[in-house]
A and B are shown apart, each in its own frame.
Chain A
Amino acid sequence: MTIAAEARPADAVASAPAPFFAARDVHAYYGESYIVQGVDFEVREKEIVALLGRNGAGKTSTLRTIARAAQPSLKSGEIWLGGMPLHRMSTHEAARAGVQLVPEDRRIIPGLTVEQNLIVAQVAERPGWPLAQIYEHFPRLAERRRQDAITMSGGEQQMLAVARALARDLKLLLLDEPYEGLAPTIVREIESILQEVKRIGITTIIVEQNAIAALQLADRAVILDMGTVAYQGPAQEVLDNADLRHQYLAI
C-alpha cells in the first residue's frame, strides 16, 4: 500500500484511509478551451456518485479525463484508482487498470455481434466476468448474442455497454448520460440495469442530465460549476435542498 500512500496529498492526516478513487486538483483542456478547472473529489469503494451540474459545467470532460481519453488533455493534477496513478496512463492502460467508460453513444462496436463485442473486451489482458456470468445476469444479451449489436434497441445497447465493462476487470464504472435520447420505456429498462449495477456493488460515477433520476440511484452527489466542484454531499441532501438544486442545477 506504499503507492496508495502517495495518493494522499502531503497535508492529509496519516491515519485517514486512502480513498478508493481520488481526483486531485485536476485541470484539463479541450484544445484551447479550459474546461476542467481544478476538480477535486473522492469516491469510496462500491459507492455510486452522481456527477451533476449545468450544461457546460465540465461533467463529461471530467469523466473523460478520468478515463484518460485523448481529449480533453490532462494538464495537471493527479487521478488515483486503488493506488494506481491513472494520470500517468494512456487510454488503454487506464482501461486495463479497471476504468471503464460507457459514453453517451454507448460505445458498441458496429459490425460486430453482441458476443463479439463481449469477446473483444475479454481478449485484452485482465478479463472480468466470463461470458456465462454475463449472460446469467443479462439473459437478453444471451438471446441476441449472434445479432449485429448495432441493430439492437437503445436499452439493449446500453445493457451491452455495461456488460462489456463487466467483461473487463472492472474497478470503476463511468456512465455518461445513460438516459440520453432514450424513450421513457427504455429509460425504465436502463433504470433496472443500473439497479443491477448497484446491487452488484460496482463503484460508479454517473453523469446525467436527469439529475433527479441520478440522485435517486446515487449515494453521494458531486456538483460541478464552471469547471470546479461547487458542492459535495449525500445525494439525499441535494434531493431535499431545493435552494441548492435551483442554484446549481436549475431544477
Chain B
Amino acid sequence: MSNITEAGLATGYARAASRQPALVTGTDLLVIGAFVLVVLTMPWWLVLIAGYEALATKIVIWAIFALGFDILLGFTGYLSFGHAAFFGSAAYITGLSLKHLTSDIVPAMAISFAGLFVIALVIGVLTLRRSGIYFSILTLAFAEMAHALILSSTLQAWTGGDNGLTGLPTPTLLGSPMRGLTVFYFASAFLVAGFIAALVIRRSPFGLMLRAIKENPMRLEYTGVNVFAYKMSAFVISAMYAGIAGSLTVIYEPYVATEYIYWSTSGEVVIMSVIGGVGTLIGPILGAGFMLYFENVIQGFIGEQWKLVLGLIFVFMVIFLPGGFVDLARQIWRSLGHRIRARRYNVPDMAPEADEDRLRRRLDREEAEAR
C-alpha cells in the first residue's frame, strides 16, 4: 500500500468527484414506479379505507399544491402565507376561460399558466426582497389584496363576488367531457410529472443552490451567486405548481369558490407540508392525503369535534415530530435497529441575517472597547 501516495489518493478522489452525479438513479426509478402504482390505484384502495372515489382526485390535486409549496418552504426555506393567491388566481382564470371562451381545458390551462407566470413574477419581485417573517407577511398581504380584488364591486360582474364563479359548463378535453375517473387520471399525470420534476430539481445543482440559500443566503452571495435569481426561480416554480392545482380544482368541480383565494387555503397548504414533512418529496403529499382524508372521512366518525382533534394532532406533531410523518417513519425504522442519516428539520430561520447581527454586536463591542 506504500506506493499509494497522498497525491495519488487525491487524484483518485478528484476523479470520483468529477463524475457528474446522475439526476435519476436506479433507486429513484423504483421509487417513481411505486409512487405511480400507489397513486393510480388510489380510487380503488381509498374506498377500502372508507373513502370514496372523488376524494382521490381531490387528494391528487392538493398533493400537487403541497409538493410545489415545499419547493419554496422545504427546499429554499421561504414560508409563504400567500399561496392561495396563486391557487385562487389560476382557478378564476381557468373558470373564466371555461365560461366565456370555450369549455375545452387546453386553452383554459394554457391561459391560466401564462397568467400565473406573470402574477408570480410580480409578487415575487415585490416580496423576495425580504426574508423570514417579513416575507411571510408580505405574501399574506398580497394574497389578501387578491382576495379583496376578486370580491370588489368592480370585478363582481366577472368573478361573481361572494357567490364565487358559477354556471360553468362541463369542462372538455378535445371534445370528450372531463368527469369522474378521467379527471383523476388527468390530475395524476400532473402529480407524477410534478413529483419527477421535484426529484430532479432536488438532485440538480439548482437544488443544491436552493439548499444553500435555505442555510445561509449571505454566504452564497459572497461566493458570487445571484441569490435573488435563484429565489425567484424557486418562487415561480412553486407558484406554477399551485396554479396547476388551482386549474385542476375547477376542472374537477366546475365552480370557483372565493375560499380558493382566501388565506385559509394558504394556511391549509402550510399545515399539509409541515404535518407531512417539510423538505421531503413524499411528506407534503402524505400531508395532503392525511388532511383531506381527515376532513372528509374521519370527520364522519368523530362528528363536529373533528377540527379540535385535527388541531391537537397538529400541535402534537409540531412538538414531538417536527419532521412530520416522514420523520415518524424514520423514527420507527431506527427503532427497528436500522441506521439513519441525521437530518435537519428546520423551519426557516426567522433571522437569516444572523451573520450581520453577530458582526454588528462585535463591532459595537469593539467600539466600546476602543473608547
* Chain A positions near chain B (C-beta within 8 angstroms): 30-31, 33, 35, 54-57, 60-61, 64, 67, 69-71, 91-92, 95-96, 100-101, 103-105, 107-112, 115-116, 119-121, 123-126, 130-133, 135-136, 139, 142-143, 145, 148, 164, 168
Contacts and interface: CB of A to CB of B under 8 A. Distances in A.
Contacts of B211: 111-112
B363 interface: yes
A91 B205 CA distance: 21
A120 B223 contact: yes
A100 B209 contact: no
12 contacts: A56-B367, A56-B369, A71-B356, A91-B221, A92-B224, A92-B227, A95-B225, A100-B222, A104-B362, A107-B219, A107-B222, A120-B209
Contacts of B332: none
B174 interface: no
B221 A95 contact: yes
Nearest to A127: B224
A34 B212 CA distance: 32
Interface stretch (B8-16, B267-275, B301-309, B323-331): B8-16
A95 B223 contact: yes
Contacts of A71: 356, 359-360
A136 B14 contact: yes
A131 B18 contact: yes
Interface string B338-371: 0000101000000000011011101100110111
Nearest to B228: A92
A95 B344 CA distance: 29
Contacts of A54: 370
B220 interface: yes
Given A91-B221, A95-B224, A132 B370 contact: no
A92 B11 CA distance: 31
A47 B17 CA distance: 32
B215 interface: yes
A183 to B, nearest CB: 20
A136 B10 contact: yes
Given A60-B363, A71-B356, A139-B6, A91 B216 contact: no
A120 B212 contact: yes
A95 B222 contact: yes
A110 B218 CA distance: 13
A39 to B, nearest CB: 16
B14 A92 contact: no
A89 B209 CA distance: 22
B9 A142 contact: yes
A132 B15 contact: yes
Interface of B: 6-7, 9-11, 13-15, 17-18, 205, 208-209, 211-212, 214-216, 218-227, 342, 344, 355-356, 358-360, 362-363, 366-367, 369-371
Nearest to B17: A131
Nearest to A96: B224
Contacts of B10: 132, 135-136, 139, 142
The 4 closest A-B pairs by CB, nearest first: A56-B370, A95-B224, A132-B14, A142-B13
B102 to A, nearest CB: 44
Contacts of A121: 223-224
A124 B224 contact: yes
A96 B226 CA distance: 10
A70 B219 CA distance: 12
B227 A132 contact: no
B359 A135 contact: no
Given A109-B220, A111-B211, 13 more contacts: A56-B363, A71-B359, A71-B360, A92-B227, A100-B223, A105-B355, A107-B219, A109-B216, A112-B212, A120-B212, A131-B14, A136-B7, A139-B10
A100 B11 CA distance: 26
In this complex, which of B6, B218, B358, B363 has the most chain A Cβ atoms within 10 angstroms of its Cβ?
Answer: B363
A33 B362 CA distance: 14
B215 A112 contact: yes
Contacts of A104: 362
Contact of B224 (A69, A107, A126): A126
Contact of B17 (A57, A60, A111, A132): A132
A133 B220 CA distance: 22
A130 B11 contact: no
Contacts of A33: 363, 367
Nearest to A69: B222
A95 B227 CA distance: 12
B17 A92 contact: no
A61 B356 CA distance: 12
Contacts of A116: 208, 212
A235 to B, nearest CB: 23
Given A95-B224, A105-B358, A126-B224, A135 B13 contact: yes
B317 to A, nearest CB: 22
B230 to A, nearest CB: 10
B370 A92 contact: no
Contacts of A131: 14, 17-18
A103 B219 CA distance: 9
A109 B212 contact: yes
Contacts of B355: 103, 105
